Chain A
C-alpha cells in the first residue's frame, strides 16, 4: 500500500516561545525549527509498515515556505521515498491545509494517510479530522496502536477514559499519539542518500485550492504571570501553609 505522511515544520519542542513585546505575534526570531514531534511519530509508523512489507511507498508532504524542504529532507532521511512541498508564504490554517492535502491525496491515491494528532505550535488538533471528512474517509485519531487487515485497519485510540479500538475501512486517516512508537534517528549515510531522493514542489494555485485564512489573529499576548512562590522547609510547614494561608485543605 501507499502511505501519505503530512509533516509540519514547527518550533523545536524545547523552545519556550514568547509573545513579541508589541503583541503582533510569537517571537520566532532565530529559534530552532524541527519536524513536529507527532509527525515524526507518523513518519516512523509509515516506515515500520514498509519494513513489515505492508507498505510499498511513503510520500511525505509539507505545506509552507521553501524552508520546509529541510523537514522534508529529514523525513526522506528517515525513510520516506519521496516528498512533496506545497509552497506558500501564507500562514495556512488547518482547513486550508486539509484542502491542499485532499487535493494531493486525490492525485496520489494513498491507502493510508498518517498525520500527527496536533501541531505543537498552533495546538489545533484539527487537520487529520478535517482531511478525513473532506475525503469522506474514516479516521482513527490519537492512535497508540494500528493493525492493518484485509481492506481494513484497526486503530487503538487514547481517549479521556482510557483506550478505544475502532475498525475502519481503507483508505483511512490515522493521527498519532505519543505512545504509537518511538521514532528513530536518521543515520549519516541515510541523510546523504536523502539528498538524491525526489522532492517535488507544487503551489496552492496548481492544486486549485483557495487556502486563504478565515481567522484573523488580532494579537498574541503573554499568559497571566503567576506570583512568585516560596520554598517551605518541612512537611509540617507545607501542611500549615495549605491549611491556613492558601486554605485549600482542611
Chain B
C-alpha cells in the first residue's frame, strides 16, 4: 500500500491544506509520497522536503502546470498515480477541479470530501449538506479521495528530510488555456484556516457596512466570511461565501452576523468549536446551533463589540 498526496500550492508556497491532507494520508498508511506539480516551484519542493514522514517528494515542473489546468494536471496525476493504492488531494477548488478527471482516467470512483478514515478502504463523508454522514467502503483498486481539510489537523512541516525526485514528464492536452485571474488580496488570515471567522449576511444591507465587521476582525485577527445572500447581492466577492457550496470552515470561534442560518450556510460552519450568532430575530434558525446568541440589531451591537474588545 502506498499513498500519493497531491500538494496544494501557488508555485511560491505550500498551502496548509496539503498538511491536513497528509494527516488523512497518515491515517491510511505509512508510505506517503508527495507530488508537486507546478512551474518554477523549486521553493515549494524544498519546503515540502522538510515535512516529516514523507518518503519522497516528486516534482513535476513545467509550464503546462503553471495555472493548474485540470486537463493537464489530471493527466499527469493519472499517469503517476497508477502505481499507488491511494491518491489524495485537498477538497479545494483546485482539488475538486482535477481529481475527478484522475478518477475517470483510472476508471475508479472518487470519494469526495472525506472527514474521517475508518480503514484503508472505508471513510466517512457528509451528504445532504452535512445533515447525514455516510460511511462508504470502496472496492476500487485505487482509491481517489478528496479530503475536507476541516476534518483533519495539519501535520508538522519541519524536521523531515524527504528525498526529491524530478520528473520531466510534460502532460499537456492542449485543449485549454489560462487567460486571467483576479485574486482577492488581503492581509487577513485565510478563511479556511483562520482561528476566528466573522461572517456577515443579508442583514448587513450593503458592502459598505462590512466595515463594521472589519473593525472587529482587525482586533481579533479574524478572517471575514459571508452568506450566499451577501455574495449574491454583491456586498462582497464570491470567495468569501461559507456554506455547502462555498467554503467549509471550522474555526475556534465563528461569529455569524445578520445571517438567518439556512441549511446550506450551516453546512459550511457548524463544526466550528464555538459559534456566536448576532441577529435581531430571536427565532432565526442560526440560534439553534449557536453556543452564544445575542438577539440585537447588528448596527448597535457591532460598534459596541468593537469598542469593548
B109 touches A214 (CB 8 A): yes
B104 touches A134 (CB 8 A): yes
Contact residue among B127, B128, B289 (Cβ-Cβ distance under 8 Å from A226): B289
| A57 interface residue (CB < 8 Å to B) | no
| B136 interface residue (CB < 8 Å to A) | yes
A-B contact count (CB 8 A): 260
B135 touches A219 (CB 8 A): yes
| A231 interface residue (CB < 8 Å to B) | yes
Q: How far is the CA of A93 from the CA of B301 in the complex (A)?
A: 47
State the Cβ distance, B62 to closest chain A Cβ, in Å.
18
| B194 interface residue (CB < 8 Å to A) | no
A123 touches B244 (CB 8 A): yes
For A128, the closest partner residue in chain B by CB is: B100
A221 touches B101 (CB 8 A): no
Contact residue among A138, A220, A227, A241 (Cβ-Cβ distance under 8 Å from B134): A220
| B276 interface residue (CB < 8 Å to A) | yes
Which residues of B143-184 are within 8 A (CB) of A?
Answer: 173, 175-184
Q: How far is the CA of A12 from the CA of B309 in the complex (A)?
A: 42
Among the interface residues A139, A215, A229, which one has the most CB atoms of the partner chain B within 10 A? A215
Neighbouring A residues of B228 by C-beta, 8 Å: 178
Given A226-B270, A246-B274, answer yes or no on A160-B92 (Cβ-Cβ < 8 Å). Answer: yes
Q: Which interface class (under 10, 10 to 19, 20 to 34, 35 or more) fits B?
A: 35 or more
**What's the tally of chain A residues with a CB closer than 8 Å to chain B?**
81
| A122 interface residue (CB < 8 Å to B) | yes
| B293 interface residue (CB < 8 Å to A) | yes
Dominant SS among interface residues on chain B:
mixed
| A88 interface residue (CB < 8 Å to B) | no
B93 touches A142 (CB 8 A): yes
A248 touches B138 (CB 8 A): no
| B201 interface residue (CB < 8 Å to A) | no
A163 touches B108 (CB 8 A): no
Which stretch from B34-42, B79-87, B232-240 is at the chain A interface?
B232-240
Which stretch from B25-33, B52-60, B69-77, B205-213 is at the chain A interface?
B69-77
Neighbouring A residues of B247 by C-beta, 8 Å: 160
Q: 10 A-B contacts, Cβ less than 8 Å apart?
A: A120-B244, A125-B96, A129-B97, A136-B173, A160-B94, A168-B176, A216-B138, A223-B132, A223-B133, A235-B296
Q: Give the interface of A toward B (CB within 8 A).
A: 11, 13-14, 16-19, 26, 38, 93-95, 98, 117-118, 120-134, 136-139, 141-142, 144, 154, 157-169, 177-179, 213-223, 226-227, 229-232, 234-236, 238-239, 241-242, 246, 248-249
